[in-house]
Amino acid sequence: MNKFVALVGMPGAGKSEVADQFIKKGYRYVRFGQITLDEVKKRGLEPIEENERPIREEFRKKYGPGAFAILNIPKFDEALKKGDVVGDGLYSWSEYKILKDKYGKNLIVIAVYAPPKLRYERLAARAARHGVDPKMKYRSFTPEEAKARDFAEIENSEKGGPIAMADYTILNTGIIEDAYAQAEDIFKKINNIA
């Protein structure tokens, strides 16, 4: 079976930047939270945190705390048939357990960490850096929105568990090239490249 690299971290930590490094190596990309954004669009709502959070919580109420693993498994399986996969945005302990049970040793979890102040600055600057992002991979948040999302992810979706159980951690507190170098080292380790 092909490798499934799942990225976990708080908003603005650099998960999507790390995902891009794996995409450049030929990994297929699946974004855990795309299900929420698709539902927001389907309902004709603006893709902002106050519209997204109730939908995320609705999915978790309907499917349980592992909702985003359950709902994305068909996408993961389809992508894994074609090659290695990077999943951007593992959220909860329940999702981690579901994916670990299904994919076993082929699941590799990478936590991406940056402290809140730095993440909030990055999230606020995204609009200027990336412009309008139709795929919403790089979305900007105000510091207040980012803090509210942090609290919701920690309190409502058990996000600390997969961060604590990650196989690797990227400390993304300097220039982005440092995070890229760490991602490259991890890529080499999981692919047994000397």
pLDDT number for residue 137: 52
Q: What is the pLDDT of residues 34-78, one digit of tens each?
A: 999 999 999 999 988 789 889 988 998 999 989 999 999 999 999
* d(C-alpha 123, C-alpha 104), whole Å: 33
pLDDT number for residue 53: 83
Dihedral sign from CA coordinates of 65, 67, 72, 74: positive
Q: What percent of the chain has pLDDT over 70?
A: 92
* d(C-alpha 163, C-alpha 169), whole Å: 8
| Radius of gyration of the chain, Cα coordinates, nearest whole angstrom | 16
pLDDT number for residue 129: 58
Q: What is the pLDDT of residues 103-135, one digit of tens each?
A: 999 999 999 999 999 999 988 887 565 555 454
150 vs 191, higher pLDDT: 191
CB-count exposure of residue 89 (10 Å: 0-12, 13-18, 19+): buried
* Confidence bin at 154 (pLDDT 50/70/90): confident
138 vs 90, higher pLDDT: 90
Give 75-83's long-range contacts (Cβ < 8 A, gap of 24+): 75/30, 76/4, 76/30, 76/103, 79/28, 79/29, 79/30, 80/1, 80/2, 80/4, 80/28, 82/28, 83/2, 83/26, 83/27, 83/28
Of 12-26, 67-81, 148-162, 171-185, the least confident:
148-162
pLDDT number for residue 138: 56
- Three-state SS for 28? strand
Q: What is the mean pLDDT of residues 151-161?
A: 81
Q: Which amino acid type is present at position 115? A: P
* d(C-alpha 34, C-alpha 38), whole Å: 6
> Where do the domains of the chain lie?
4-190
Quote the mean pLDDT of the chain.
90
Residue among 161, 145, 180 at smallest CA distance from 20: 180
* Residue carrying the six token digits 């579901």: 98
For 4-190, CATH gives 3.40.50.300
Q: What is the pLDDT of residues 6-19, one digit of tens each?
A: 999 998 999 999 99
